[in-house]
């Protein structure tokens, strides 16, 4: 697990030069990258969601593009379009921001369902289809989509089919008082997030991310842990407070994220605690609460925590 642990240590060290606190968020962003998935990041404005993803891209030497979602954003604004060149009498592809490594889709729930759906192919198959022609995206293509949990006016809720394609849902909380004071101190000393290139960030070795992904296959899984994952996922489908349970894709995601957690800890074997730790971010956006459960003040995190406590942990 040397490659995974080296990558994790390097990313955490370099991210701390820009981001104060948010250690759990940084770890989850790294998990998404190692597993080759996508993440939905939920948090109020001003918690450095964009800055964290931009910094991660610079540390890992990856391309970065940002899309600000609005109600009038069209699929071609994200994917690109063919433009007729009068000089050559031919069409030339004008590539949209989706042709990158890390794509930050800011406030994804503010764009129309048509544009949201345009991202499905790129997220699932790492390709886009423009005028009938398929264009492959890179192996490192990752979507980090953000949404504001408070402001619902003028938004379009993401359909379950799209939510299921996000490996993790990452929730950001406010920093502590000490961390907020540290943030102010950095700005007093001249830190400016608009000039990230001035921060002395040391990038990782070019091949380290690919090597870390290969290490995942070396994490051993005891035979008793597969039924444990299946039981957890299947129990969401008949849980009294839930009207929609997790899909088989959720079970696959739970397995991969748990393996990555083990690798980051330097272990080449999976333990039940890895699965428990992965359960919340992997499942919270894949289940749907019944209206009566919401009226009782329940949320997906509480329901999943209760569900975890009812499943016997294998020895």
CA angle 106, 108, 110 (to 5 degrees): 105
Mean pLDDT of the chain: 90
- At 4 the pLDDT is 92
Instruction: Report residue 127 as tokens.
Output: 């390709």
The answer to whether 97 and 66 are in contact (CB under 8 A) is: yes
pLDDT tens string 61-106: 999 999 999 888 998 999 988 888 887 778 888 899 999 999 999 9
219-310 has which CATH code?
Answer: 1.10.8.80
- In this predicted structure, the answer to whether residue 298 has a pLDDT above a threshold of 90 is no
Cβ count within 10 A of residue 314: 15
- At 32 the pLDDT is 95
CA distance 167 to 285: 9
Instruction: Report domain extents, the chain.
Output: 2-209, 219-310
- Percent of the chain past pLDDT 70, that is, above it, reads 99
- At 21 the pLDDT is 86
pLDDT tens string 193-229: 888 888 888 999 889 999 999 998 899 998 999 999 9
The class level of CATH for 2-209 reads alpha beta
Q: Is the pTM of this model over 0.85?
A: yes
Q: Is 219-310 the same fold as 2-209?
A: no
- At 235 the pLDDT is 94
- In this predicted structure, the answer to whether residue 153 has a pLDDT above a threshold of 80 is no
- In this predicted structure, the answer to whether residue 252 has a pLDDT above a threshold of 70 is yes
User: Is residue 198 exposed (0-12), middle (13-18) or buried (19+ Cβ within 10 Å)?
Assistant: exposed
- At 152 the pLDDT is 67
- In this predicted structure, the answer to whether residue 150 has a pLDDT above a threshold of 90 is no
Region 290-300: mean pLDDT is 88
pLDDT tens string 3-38: 999 999 999 999 999 998 888 999 999 999 999 999
- At 280 the pLDDT is 94
In which region does residue 4 sit, left (phi positive, over 0), alpha (psi from -120 to 50) or beta (all else)? alpha
CA distance 285 to 287: 6
CA distance 180 to 143: 28
Structure confidence at residue 154 as a pLDDT band (50, 70, 90): low
């Amino acid at each position: 697990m040397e490659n995974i642990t080296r990558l994790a240590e390097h990313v955490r060290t370099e991210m701390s030069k820009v981001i104060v606190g948010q250690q759990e968020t940084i770890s989850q962003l790294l998990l998404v990258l190692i597993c080759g998935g996508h993440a939905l990041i939920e948090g109020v404005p001003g918690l450095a969601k964009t800055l964290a993803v931009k910094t991660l891209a610079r540390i890992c030497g990856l391309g970065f593009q940002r899309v600000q979602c609005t109600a009038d954003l069209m699929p071609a604004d994200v994917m690109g379009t063919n433009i007729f060149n009068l000089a050559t009498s031919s069409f030339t592809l004008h590539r949209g921001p989706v042709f990158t490594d890390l794509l930050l889709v800011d406030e994804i729930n503010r764009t129309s369902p048509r544009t949201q759906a345009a991202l499905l192919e790129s997220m699932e198959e790492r390709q886009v289809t423009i005028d009938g022609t398929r264009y492959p995206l890179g192996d490192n293509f990752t979507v980090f989509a953000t949404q504001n949990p408070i402001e619902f006016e003028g938004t379009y809720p993401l359909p379950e089919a799209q939510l299921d394609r996000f490996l993790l849902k990452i929730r950001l909380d406010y920093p502590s008082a000490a961390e907020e004071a540290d943030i102010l101190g950095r700005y007093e000393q001249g830190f400016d997030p608009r000039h990230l290139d001035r921060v002395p960030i040391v990038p990782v070795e070019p091949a380290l991310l690919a090597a870390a992904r290969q290490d995942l296959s070396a994490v051993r899984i005891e035979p008793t842990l597969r039924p444990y994952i299946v039981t957890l996922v299947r129990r969401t489908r008949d849980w009294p407070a839930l009207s929609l349970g997790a899909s088989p894709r959720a079970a696959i995601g739970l397995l991969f994220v748990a393996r990555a957690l083990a690798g980051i800890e330097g272990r080449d074997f999976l333990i039940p605690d890895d699965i428990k730790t992965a359960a919340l971010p992997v499942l919270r956006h894949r289940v749907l609460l019944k209206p009566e459960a919401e009226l009782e003040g329940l949320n997906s995190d509480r329901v999943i925590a209760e569900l975890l406590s009812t499943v016997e942990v294998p020895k």
